[in-house]
Structure 1
Amino acid sequence: MSKQYVLQAQVRELQGKGASRRLRNTGMVPAVIYGAGGEAQSISLRHNEMLRNLQEEGFYSQIITVDFGDRKEQVILRDLQRHPAKPIIMHADLQRIRDDEEIRVHVALHFLNDESAKGVKEQGGTVSHMISEVEVSCLPKNLPEFIEVDMINVEKGQILHLSDLKLPEGVSLPALALGEDHDNAIAAIH
């Protein structure tokens, strides 16, 4: 079961560089919510709450509830701007989602049994991970927290591709719909 992420938010009236700077000085992060047929809305989020959630891998790919007090909206994190030298979040872009509309999200790959894989343990190979996340397309209710890649039966010289992934029900990989040329390698044992 994936964790439920909730962010407390306030609608923000003042916009622009100066207003955003003053907002950040009060411990808030300027953000915008857009999509799902609604108007773009400028909001502010608590900086410490954002930093705490950003430490968790699932926050980048899971559904987030934005709580305005009188109403709630379901969103996913689309973009994040950070300060180049300080641990400060400069701005966040959140996209609204609808339960009946498919979304595309990058989901992390969790590699299992790297050390005990046949190609490593018996054949003296080394595991190489080519990618650490994949783009999936699904309805919000089917969104996986991560996708597991079991390396236990992979032999030396064998390459795993996107088409080898075991996807949960209702989840697809848009890259595979583009043809065989887009069936990229995800891991191998050399």
Structure 2
Amino acid sequence: MPQATIALRARIREEKKKKTKLPKSQGLIPAVLYGHKIVPKNLWLNYIEFEKVFGQAGESTLVDLAVEKEKPVKVLIQDYQADVLTSRINHVDFHQVRMDEKIHTEIGLKFIGEAPAVKELGGILVTNIHALEVSCLPQDLVHEIEVDLSPLKGLDDAIHVSDIKLPPGLALKAAGTEAVVLIQPPRAEEELAAMAAKPEEKLPEGAKEEAKPEEGEEVKPEKNDKK
């Protein structure tokens, strides 16, 4: 099923010798567009529009980027920077792709269904991998890769990277033998109690516990006798 087109507008950002801060009231953030055999462009984006597009596309879905009156081009949101305090995005990198060239990217995993080992046996579901590195042509990109948890029926069962059925056109960047998600046996009550109990610190054999001064008692430094 073809994905709906996600569109975003931008305008050229002129580089000036003297840098001036853009008023926040304008709601614009800087961006850069680059790609294979194209001249990089410095851009301005409307923050609200970009935030909406980023929520839909993430970093693995094509976006139709229209720079002013130019014809839209296919891009990926390659990278972004955000304020460390507010988490507000303050810079974006777009990668313009060629539809006849393969790209390498990460696609997030979406876990669906229910693991019988959790529901029926009380097992613990442990997730090790949340995204896969793949290569594909741009038109074969998907927003996410689904992983069905229903095969996890027994304790110690696992789903490995090699077990995941990839959508057509996608290929793993590296061989996948690592466990994506696995089931661990439930912990016994005795084990949980032992983990919760804080072990007492023991002195080495033969060592004496240092006497603590009484409240209000003056502590005198030890004298070193020199002969």
TM-score by length of 2: 0.73
Q: CA RMSD in A?
A: 2.0
Structure 1 gaps, min length 5: 177-181
More helix by share: 1
| Contact 1:30 1:92 (8 Å CA) reproduced | yes
Q: 1:23 to 1:165 in 2, by over 3 A?
A: farther
Aligned mates of 1:24, 1:161 — CA distance in 2? 47
d(CA) in 1 for partners of 2:88, 2:97: 27
1:179 — aligned with what?
none
Seen in structure 2, the aligned counterparts of structure 1 residues 15 and 65 have a Cα distance that, compared at 3 Å, is farther
Partner of 1:184: 178
Match of 1:158 in 2: 157
Larger strand proportion of the pair: 1
CA shift, 1:158, in A, is 1.3
Give the Å deviation of 1:118.
2.3
Q: Calculate the TM-score normalised by the size of structure 1.
A: 0.86
For residues 2 and 16 of structure 1, the distance between their equivalents in structure 2, rounded to whole angstroms, comes to 42
Structure 1 residues 52-82: Cα deviation after superposition (integer angstroms, max 9, x where no partner) = 22333x3321001111223211110111111
CA distance 1:13–1:23, change in 2 (3 Å): farther
Cα offset for 1:102?
A: 0.5
Change (3 A) 1:30 1:24: farther
In the alignment, what sits opposite 2:135? 137
CA contact (8 A) 2:104 2:134 kept: yes
Task: Please list the CA deviations of residues 131-164 of structure 1 after superposition, one character each: whole Å capped at 9, or x if unmatched.
Answer: 2111111001111121110010213201211111
Q: Percent identity?
A: 30
Question: Aligned equivalents of 1:121 and 1:49: distance in 2?
Answer: 42
How far 1:24 sits from its partner (Å)?
5.2
Instruction: Tell which has more relative contact order, 1 or 2 (C-alpha 8 A, sep 6+).
Output: 1
Q: Note closer, same or farther for the CA distance 1:129–1:2 as it changes in structure 2 (3 Å cut).
A: farther
Contact 1:61-1:106 within 8 A present in 2 as well: yes
Structure 1 residues 7-16 or 139-148, which shifts more? Answer: 7-16
Task: Give the aligned partner of residue 10 of structure 1.
Answer: 11
Q: Aligned pairs, how many?
A: 181
Specify the SS of the correspondent of 1:107: strand
Contact 1:107 1:134 in 2 (8 A): yes
**Residue of structure 2 equivalent to 1:64:** 63
Report the residue type matching 2:48 in the other structure.
Answer: N
CA 1:142–1:17: 2 relative to 1, 3 Å: farther
Larger Rg: 2
How far is the alpha carbon of 1:2 from its aligned partner? 2.9
1:165 & 1:185 partners in 2: Cα distance? 11
| Per-residue deviation, 1:25 | 5.2
